[in-house]
Amino acid sequence: MCHISQYLSAEHTQCDTLFAEAESAVSEARWEHAASLYGRFREKTEHHFQREEGVLFPAFERATGLSAGPTEVMRSEHGQMRRLLSRLDSALASRDAERFLGEAETLLTVMQQHNLKEENMLYRMAGQVLASQADAVIRKMKSVGSPA
């Protein structure tokens, strides 16, 4: 049995690794490689958001009756990260390393804070209130379309 926290925390780690590799490629002006890594990071990150927003958050809200609590904060932060990703898209497209790395630093800070909140609070709470449904929730999250 895989716990919700383990499953989603592993996705955070995968995204973090791709992001660091993309940053490194940009700093070395390896633009094609950077674009490939960043594209994979962006797809995996959006896929992760969709799993949370489409499966985990609604299940948590139904189980707790809380729709204006931690899931609302997480959705808001997802929106903030999506806006930063759009700015990174633009910087990468124009091969502006300085701009990309500046936006990447901001995104990294937001992601780290967000992931800590999810891993130390929301996922633990979800694991408790959804304990009897954990396997079903994970199966449903896995069924959310895969990134390319």
Nearest partner of 81 among 53, 52, 110, judged by Cα: 110
Contact indicator for 21, 37 with CB cutoff of 8 Å: yes
12 in a structural domain = yes
Whole-model pTM over 0.85: yes
Q: Which of 113, 98, 142, 131 is nearest to 8 (CA)?
A: 142
Contact of 19 with 39, CB cutoff 8 Å: no
Q: Please report whether residue 53 resides in a domain.
A: yes
pLDDT at residue 2 in the model: 58
Q: What is the mean pLDDT of each successive set of 10 residues along the chain, which is 148 residues long?
A: 85 97 98 98 97 96 89 97 98 98 98 96 94 94 76
The CATH number of whichever domain residue 95 belongs to comes to 1.20.120.520
Domain count, the chain: 1
Token pair of 41, please? 């990071």
Res 134: pLDDT: 93
Instruction: Tell me which residue range forms the domain holding 71.
Output: 4-143
Q: Is residue 118 helix, strand or coil?
A: helix
The predicted structure's pLDDT at residue 1:
42
Question: Cα dist. 81→25, 55, 110, 115, 139 in Å?
Answer: 21, 19, 7, 12, 26
Answer yes or no: is 72 within a domain.
Answer: yes
Whether 15 maps to a domain, the answer reads yes
Residue at 148 is within a domain: no
d(CA 28, CA 81): 24
